[in-house]
Amino acid sequence: MTVIPELLTAAERHAAAFDQGALPRPPARGVAILTCIDARIDPDKIFDLAPGDANVVRNAGGRAADAIRSLAISQELLGTREIIVLHHTDCGLHAFTTEQIRERLAASLGAEAAAAAAEVDFLSFTDVRDNLRTDLAKLRASLLLRPGTRIVGLVYDVATGRLSAVE
């Protein structure tokens, strides 16, 4: 069973009522949010954002190493001047080690995938707060982001919906 036909039908309903075609390209609030691909994380709801308010960059774990290119473009081409790095509890990259991810890929996709996975650091971690501190330091040290950019680190608790700050 596939969900894609259902999603395409929903997209048609969306297009029929769409009235936001005139939104400007730069985000109205001047902020970029880096977060995880986890489907439980909804930055628009968490921060009460409307369409066009923020750039949202997602990758597995919300990792800085995978996001600097997008954040640099967000700043230089779209004018963002603040960044929120939003990590969360119960993250899959906390539940699995890089080696376990590699083993799963090898088992399900075969030897060629195993060789390719051996070249990838899946950026798993053991402590969400320490992981977030590492990512904050990486962003603050990046030569591709504007000096003086306000970068805030937050952990979202998926069980309570609450945020806690990490310096």
Does residue 158 belong to any structural domain of this protein? yes
Does residue 148 belong to any structural domain of this protein? yes
Q: Could you give the 3-state DSSP secondary structure of residue 163?
A: strand
Query: In sequence order, what are the residues at sequence separation of 6 or more whose Cβ sits closer than 8 angstroms to the Cβ of residue 43?
Result: 33, 35, 49, 54, 56, 86
Does residue 14 belong to any structural domain of this protein? no
How many domains does the chain fold into?
A: 1
What are the pLDDT digits (tens) for 82-138? Answer: 999 999 999 999 999 999 999 999 999 999 999 999 999 999 999 999 999 999 999
Reply yes or no on whether the pLDDT at 156 is more than 90: yes
31-36/82-88 β-pairing: parallel
The reported pLDDT for the residue numbered 55 is 98
- The residue range of the domain holding 162 is 28-93+124-166
Total residue length of the chain: 167
Q: Could you give the 3-state DSSP secondary structure of residue 164?
A: strand
The reported pLDDT for the residue numbered 160 is 98
Q: Which pTM value belongs to this model?
A: 0.94
Query: In sequence order, what are the residues at sequence separation of 6 or more whose Cβ sits closer than 8 angstroms to the Cβ of residue 158?
Result: 38, 40, 41, 88, 89, 90
Write the CATH number for 60.
3.40.1050.10
Does residue 75 belong to any structural domain of this protein? yes
Does residue 11 belong to any structural domain of this protein? no
User: Does an H or E element contain 86, and which?
Assistant: strand 82-88
The reported pLDDT for the residue numbered 20 is 95
DSSP 66: G
The reported pLDDT for the residue numbered 1 is 82
The reported pLDDT for the residue numbered 51 is 96
Does residue 19 belong to any structural domain of this protein? no
What are the pLDDT digits (tens) for 38-92? Answer: 999 999 999 999 999 999 999 999 999 999 999 999 999 999 999 999 999 999 9
- What CA–CA distance (Å, rounded) separates 152 from 121? 25
Does residue 115 belong to any structural domain of this protein? no
Reply yes or no on whether the pLDDT at 34 is more than 90: yes
